[in-house]
Structure 1
Amino acid sequence: MKLCLSHSTPILLTLLPRQVFTVCLLYEINKGKSSPWHPYFLHLPRSYSILAAFGELETQALQVDYAIWAAQKAVTKAKYEWEQAFTLMKELKLKPPLLTFRAWIWATGTISSRTLHIPWDEAGCLCPVGDLFNYAAPTEDPDSFENVENWQNEHAKDDLDIHHSQRLTDGGYEEDVAAYCFYAKKNYNVGEQVLLSYGTYTNLELLEYYGFLLEDNPNEKVFIPLDLDMYSLSCWPKESLYIHQNGRPSFALMCALRLWATPLQQRKSIGHLAYSGCPISKGNEIYVMKWIGKKCDALLKEIPTSVEEDKSLVHLMDKMEEYENLGEWVKKASAVFGGEFGDNNILKAAYGVEGDDELTSLVRTKMLIDRWKLAVQWRLMYKTVVARCISYCTDIVNSLSTQ
């Protein structure tokens, strides 16, 4: 893709590589059938459910503060980058529909979810055929609960190790052959779907960059609110203080909480035990596990909907296609889940745009509900992990109390 510019060199210098790539993509779309990429464009999705495409309703449906903040940040960032590039797009004489923020979000979603890494441009590249493979999360070890009887060995595995990127991805640009090469890590049978790993992502990151979630993601991380003094006791970054997908607190989180639960005058003398991942004492371990369990329980009670309510809502969403029209489904859903369909509801947001015909309204409603479903699925997975953590901590406490 090449841009033919007359006066835009200063503007280009202010744009990030991905912004330039986004403009290039819209510029090629603007060419229509005359673009050599036109056959490829015909196969691209018409919309993406990345976080930058979320409206206020879908964002609030996430329910968890850090997820809401991530969505708001993604939208704000996308709008800022669109505004920065707007002058350049006007100079390129793009058609009015391609100048809109909606078009920018589509192009951003295409680049975010479909580009492949190349060493000479951080924006990446579009690679037809190469971007057809669906995602398989990489994992280094089986995901399972640890034996509560072996509490002294808990968290001995340092989950902060950074593995070599080649172990986490199944493809890459190889300069010696000047081509992008993909490798299967297993033998596939005829007719079986080939899955490739793009790297390690949490579900919130998958939603932000790709617009989908994994129900069983071994790389999932759930964060719970901590006091500032707890963060200050950790020598690891905040993003390392999390709960694993199986409900087990991370190595760094346990280290920080064990030290926090130690009397101030003793921290210097026995702090090395906490930093090495070893339990300080049985009493300390019970206190920490009880604290985590209570924190998680309080967190679940603060969130507007329960795990069971979210499961019912997702189940109802899965049955959407069984209804003759979307209006009937929304009526059924609003009767069951009034909290999700209040005065400022999904239906009003979808149909509230003046000038839309019936088909446009239907498409708009379907896209909005698809994003809303992803938000509900994400919060359900979050609550499920938090509930697992409560069970895990309870098992540890019960086991230690009987010793």
Structure 2
Amino acid sequence: MEARELLECAATFGISDSSQGSSQFGDTLEIAVFPDQGGRGLGVARNVEQGEMILRVPFAALIGVHCAREDPEFGKVLVDFAHLSSVQILTAYLLSEVAKSCSSRWFSYLRHNPQVHHSLPHFSAMEAEELQVEDAISMAKSSLEDTQRQWRETSSLLSRLRLPRKFTTFKAWLWAAATISSRTLHVPWDDAGVLCPIGDLFNYDAPIERTMSSRNEDDELEFTNRLTDGGYETSISSYCFYARRSYKKGQQALICYGQYTNLELLEHYGFLLPDNPCDVIYIPLPSPEEFGLKSTGDKSERQHNLAAYCIEASGKPSFSLLQQLRLRAVPASLRKSHGYMASQGLPISRESDQLVFLWLQKKCQKLLEKLPTTIEQDERALEQLEKSTSSGSCGVERHKLAIKWRLGYKTILQRCLTYSKGESLGFE
């Protein structure tokens, strides 16, 4: 029933995956369920080559702020709420369309949107505590507070629209906000993006290489990303999707939304990616005193872009983190004369590099010991939840997500600990 109605929706709006350019759906893609790869998604119905256009969604099918402004009733009320953000307007418009039920032109699409979300704003205080890491707990709390704030700011608009009460509650807003956060696609003309029928069925694939953005190939990279993911193309007034790799018939077609850590995926989309190559753990830089040196107060000792100083998913320190640790592990005089070596990815001295990897060992060990459970305990807890008779309930699903996230966090720390020990042994 669901697949059939979505296909009818595709036909209504002229959504096409035809390699011949006709307005039909089913030539290249098919709606399918991939239990181990994100659930409901789009599989390929034939062999597809990388860079091939696999879906075209006309502008008329897209749901965005432009629809809200053009709606006779909604648009009339909206003129008094110029202070609201595009995201708030689109969230309110989504609720107004859902409230119309079968009279909405997008009814067959909207009724099959997920009714349950597991993104961070949905986590209760107790569920957030299961993340264990203070930064993650804080993010869950602030995400919920931000969603509540946006709802309060938009409540007058919802009231003026005279929606049925159940569509003006925070529960309804939380659902709509999660739908906008997790299912909208980027467009150049509006920050809120657009809901894209059929196009939002593509599941996520991580960037092929995390460090691609650091290369000096910006023009080529931009061209390649356009070909292998998707975007709105004004020349044909459609949102177009391209195969980011070659697929065999029956495989799931995936797109990359961008570069996200697992915590960011959980915050915005409500899922985690096993072995996410973009996952990182941010590490505050140590003071020279932690290496037994005297601080000079020069600018090289200050915190810069914290996001660059991280342990990567492999367990290795990022280039920037290793560079800064090497600079901080040597006296100021040596830093001035040999600091260029750290910028080239080289150790400044054998002794200082030994200090660097010993510091990393201790840091990872300290972070692991600070957490209330071990990797082994988390694995057992997850196994028990999987066997639980209540598995599938919202609370249990979020509990599992919390355990999986903190397991990934600890696994990266353990990898870094093992890597640093191995590097330290090389100095003996």
Sort the TM-score into its range (normalised by shorter chain). Answer: 0.7 to 0.9
Structure 1 residue 112, shift from structure 2 partner: 0.9
Q: Does 1:88 align with 2:157?
A: yes
The 2-side partners of 1:300 and 1:108 are apart by 34
Q: State the partner residue of 2:195.
A: 126
Q: State the partner residue of 2:403.
A: 376
The 2-side partners of 1:368 and 1:232 are apart by 46
The 2-side partners of 1:39 and 1:64 are apart by 41
Q: State the partner residue of 1:19.
A: 88
The 2-side partners of 1:58 and 1:388 are apart by 26
The 1-side partners of 2:90 and 2:284 are apart by 38
**SS in structure 2 of the partner of residue 131 of structure 1:** helix
- Show the 5 A alignment for 1:4-403: 4-5=73-74, 6=76, 8-11=78-81, 13-140=82-209, 160-161=214-215, 164-165=221-222, 167-168=224-225, 170-227=229-286, 233=301, 236-320=304-388, 323=389, 326=390, 366-401=393-428
The 1-side partners of 2:117 and 2:301 are apart by 41
Gaps of 5+ in 2: 1-66, 291-298
The 2-side partners of 1:24 and 1:159 are apart by 36
Structure 1 residue 159, shift from structure 2 partner: 7.5
Structure 1 contact 137–218 (Cα < 8 Å) conserved: yes
Q: One-letter code of the match for 1:216?
A: D
Q: How far does the alpha carbon of each residue in 1:321-370 deviate from its partner, in whole angstroms, 9 at most, with x for none?
A: xx3xx3xx8xxxxxxxxxxxxxxxxxxxxxxxxxxxxxxxxx9xx11221
Task: Give identity over the alignment, percent.
Answer: 40
Q: How far does the alpha carbon of each residue in 1:218-277 deviate from its partner, in whole angstroms, 9 at most, with x for none?
A: 111112344477996367510111001010000111111111111234322222222332
The 1-side partners of 2:247 and 2:308 are apart by 35
The 1-side partners of 2:212 and 2:341 are apart by 14
Q: One-letter code of the match for 2:163?
A: L
Q: One-letter code of the match for 2:401?
A: L
Structure-2-length-normalised TM-score: 0.76
The 2-side partners of 1:226 and 1:312 are apart by 34
Shift of the 214–310 alpha-carbon distance from structure 1 to 2, 3 Å rule, reads same
Q: One-letter code of the match for 1:383?
A: K
The 2-side partners of 1:318 and 1:260 are apart by 46
The 2-side partners of 1:108 and 1:159 are apart by 30
Q: One-letter code of the match for 2:234?
A: E
Structure 1 residue 400, shift from structure 2 partner: 2.6
The 1-side partners of 2:170 and 2:348 are apart by 55
Q: One-letter code of the match for 1:17?
A: S
Of stretches 222-231 and 38-47 in structure 1, the one that deviates more from structure 2 is: 222-231
Q: One-letter code of the match for 2:412?
A: V
Q: One-letter code of the match for 2:276?
A: N
The 2-side partners of 1:100 and 1:213 are apart by 28
**SS in structure 1 of the partner of residue 252 of structure 2:** coil
The 2-side partners of 1:126 and 1:9 are apart by 22
Q: How far does the alpha carbon of each residue in 1:264-307 deviate from its partner, in whole angstroms, 9 at most, with x for none?
A: 34322222222332211111111000001111001101100100
The 1-side partners of 2:232 and 2:317 are apart by 37
Q: CA RMSD in A?
A: 2.3
Of stretches 13-22 and 234-243 in structure 1, the one that deviates more from structure 2 is: 234-243
Structure 1 contact 158–251 (Cα < 8 Å) conserved: no
The 2-side partners of 1:62 and 1:167 are apart by 37
Q: How far does the alpha carbon of each residue in 1:119-167 deviate from its partner, in whole angstroms, 9 at most, with x for none?
A: 11111111111011111111227xxxxxxxxxxxxxxx89845864554
Q: One-letter code of the match for 1:224?
A: I
Structure 1 contact 234–255 (Cα < 8 Å) conserved: no
Structure 1 residue 100, shift from structure 2 partner: 1.3
Structure 2 contact 308–320 (Cα < 8 Å) conserved: yes
The 1-side partners of 2:212 and 2:189 are apart by 33
Larger fraction in strand: 2
The 2-side partners of 1:313 and 1:247 are apart by 24
The 2-side partners of 1:256 and 1:234 are apart by 10
**SS in structure 2 of the partner of residue 400 of structure 1:** coil
Structure-1-length-normalised TM-score: 0.80
Structure 2 contact 155–168 (Cα < 8 Å) conserved: yes
Q: One-letter code of the match for 1:242?
A: C
